[in-house]
Amino acid sequence: MARLALLLALLAGTAVAEPPDAARQDQLRHLVRQDCGSCHGLRLTGGLGRPITAGALAGRDAEDLAGLILDGMPGTAMPGWRPLLTEDEARWIADYLLTTETQ
Amino acid sequence: MMLKAILAALMIAAPALAGELRGTGDLGLIVEREAGSLLVVDRSERAAIGRIEGLGDLSHASLVYSPDERFAYVFGRDGGLTKVDILTRQVVRRVVQAGNSIGGAISDDGRLVAVANYEPGGVKVFDAETLELVADVPMGSKTVGIADAPGSRFVVATWDTGEVWILDHSTDAAQPAITKLEGIGANPYDALLTGDGRHYIVGLFGEKGLVQVDLWQDPPKVTRFLPDYGKDQPDLPVYKMPHLQGWTLAEGLFALPAVGLHQLLWVDAADLTEIARTDLAGQPVFALARPDKREVWVNFAPPDNDKLQVVDVLTHEVLDTLTPGKGVLHMEFAPRGREVWLSVRDENRVEIRDARSRAVLGEIEARAPSGIFFTDRAHRTGL
């Protein structure tokens, strides 16, 4: 099964993003809550920054969001996270924000 | 082993007995933000003595103390204003007064508690005894940097509109006399009031420079300073905004965390000119003078938030770089500066160090701790 998954991943080549491994996903979840949370709130309901709950982001494009995470929003307090995140990691965070119900 | 754990749990859960006499001058509260709880700590014992739960969303929470140091007013992200009794360790009253808030202040007579709101913006002022609404002051903006000025006044800056408002409740608490200073600058993100209540200093995110408002003048005098700092250098990303309540007058100087630079800026308080800079290990968040003013201790935004740096006030040089652990969010000095308590969020502990030798003196378990607040804050203007 693992070999099949590996084979599929190889066949898919570079077109498919390489999702972060489980340990890194934990780190990214922590980063979203704690570090994004500095401005957007621990529960992502907003603060100095706007709310970024799944509800608040409904209809947003994951690719655009990932770009925004990486490069920030000039003219606002949103910094670019490119020095700390890969493109795949930013995409994972975008998907996480769009699909995760926060409490 | 099991018995020990049970006993420890009992000790932390049991409120102070009614017959037990004690003062509160060496107590403090530590915000456990994810858990929505406060850890009650005894500074002399270097130990947790209880926990108060049920305070809602405490991300970026702050609190102030009543003049008798018995009650704390806690400002939560969810708009909750909660009054807690640190002796009985209970929630006395709680109101959800707005959609989203972050900070507040208590008047110099201890009668009024003001909350700065993000959503719907503006300031609401409450009776400290009952938490009943006394005055609602919409400002059409998120509000930041609220502070108590002498004479039942509150000062606050507006993030969206770049103003400073002074609310004077001395004549009629419900109808404050309002002084509005417009055109302060783009996106004030925080402010501080000096301990004498005279100078309100506003940090700007939307443009370079800072603003000082001299509250001793009538009308208050507004002075722009450091308009060019960092202008010739590319801005570094700011992963966490500096907190300006740590800005401190030491030796006639302000030690200010730069925004977008990994530097501490030293400003002559008399004429607001820059006199030195110190290169630091990251984006500074708090630059906090030890109470004797001899050193300034600095912590950092991610990814450098495992570190602390200690800077000499006379030479402006970094004396020491400490690495207490992952997520050093907050520092609080004992009132006379003997020791410093550090929240190490990602390691679920508070570390206690000697503020001179910097040796570790103790450690307290806490759930993802953030702000640490000792009760002596009750008697300090501008906190």
Q: Is the pLDDT of residue A67 over 70?
A: yes
Q: Are B302 and A46 in contact (CB < 8 Å)?
A: no
Spatial contact of A85 and A93, defined as CB atoms under 8 Å apart:
yes
Taking only the tens place, the pLDDT of each residue in B129-165 is 999 999 999 999 999 999 999 999 999 999 999 999 9
Give the mean model confidence (pLDDT) for residues B316-341: 97
Mean pLDDT of chain B: 92
A38 vs B30 pLDDT, higher one: B30
Q: Closest CB to B118: pick one of A33, A47, A77.
A: A47
**Helices A87-99/A62-71 angle, 10° precision:** 120
Q: Are B346 and A84 in contact (CB < 8 Å)?
A: no
Nearest to B61 by CA among B40, B45, B78, B47: B78
Query: For residue A23, what is the enclosing H or E element?
Result: helix A22-31
Structure confidence at residue B177 (pLDDT): 98
Search chain A and give the residue with CA nearest B158. A48
Taking only the tens place, the pLDDT of each residue in A22-40 is 999 999 999 998 889 888 9
Interface of B with A in 128-167 (CB under 8 A): 142, 144, 159
Q: Are A35 and B239 in contact (CB < 8 Å)?
A: yes
Query: Which residues on chain B are in Cβ contact (under 8 Å) with A31?
Result: 302
Spatial contact of B88 and B16, defined as CB atoms under 8 Å apart:
yes
CA distance B73 to B55: 11
Structure confidence at residue B142 (pLDDT): 94
Q: Are B189 and A77 in contact (CB < 8 Å)?
A: yes
**Helices A22-31/A87-99 angle, 10° precision:** 70
Search chain A and give the residue with CA nearest B370. A34
Q: Are B241 and A48 in contact (CB < 8 Å)?
A: yes
Search chain B and give the residue with CA nearest A38. B240
Query: Which residues on chain A are in Cβ contact (under 8 Å) with B205?
Result: 77
Search chain B and give the residue with CA nearest A49. B118
| ipTM of model | 0.75
Q: Is the pLDDT of residue B19 over 90?
A: no
Structure confidence at residue B238 (pLDDT): 87
Q: Which residue has the tokens 């006199």?
A: B275
Structure confidence at residue B10 (pLDDT): 54
Structure confidence at residue A14 (pLDDT): 44
Q: Is the pLDDT of residue B3 over 60?
A: no
Q: What are phi and psi of B95, to 5 degrees?
A: -125, 140
Structure confidence at residue B318 (pLDDT): 98
Dihedral Cα B371, B377, B378, B383, nearest 10 deg = -80
Provide the shortest C-alpha distance from residue A40 to chain B (in Å). 10
Structure confidence at residue B8 (pLDDT): 57
Give the mean model confidence (pLDDT) for residues A16-27: 85
Q: Is the pLDDT of residue B299 over 90?
A: yes
Search chain B and give the residue with CA nearest A80. B237
Q: Which residue has the tokens 């008399």?
A: B270
Sign of CA dihedral A54, A58, A61, A64: negative
Taking only the tens place, the pLDDT of each residue in B200-259 is 999 998 888 899 999 999 999 999 999 888 777 777 888 888 888 766 666 688 999 998
Taking only the tens place, the pLDDT of each residue in B180-191 is 999 999 999 899
Confidence band of B77 (pLDDT split at 50, 70, 90): confident
Provide the shortest C-alpha distance from residue B143 to chain A (in Å). 9
Q: Closest CB to B302: pick one of A33, A35, A80.
A: A35
Confidence band of B75 (pLDDT split at 50, 70, 90): very high
| Preferred mutation among B239, B261, B299, B330 to probe A, highest tally of A CBs within 10 A | B239
Provide the shortest C-alpha distance from residue A2 to chain B (in Å). 33
Predicted TM-score (pTM) of this structure: 0.89
Amino acid (1-letter code) at residue B382: G
Compute how many other C-beta atoms are within 10 angstroms of the C-beta atom of residue B277.
15
Spatial contact of B269 and B314, defined as CB atoms under 8 Å apart:
no
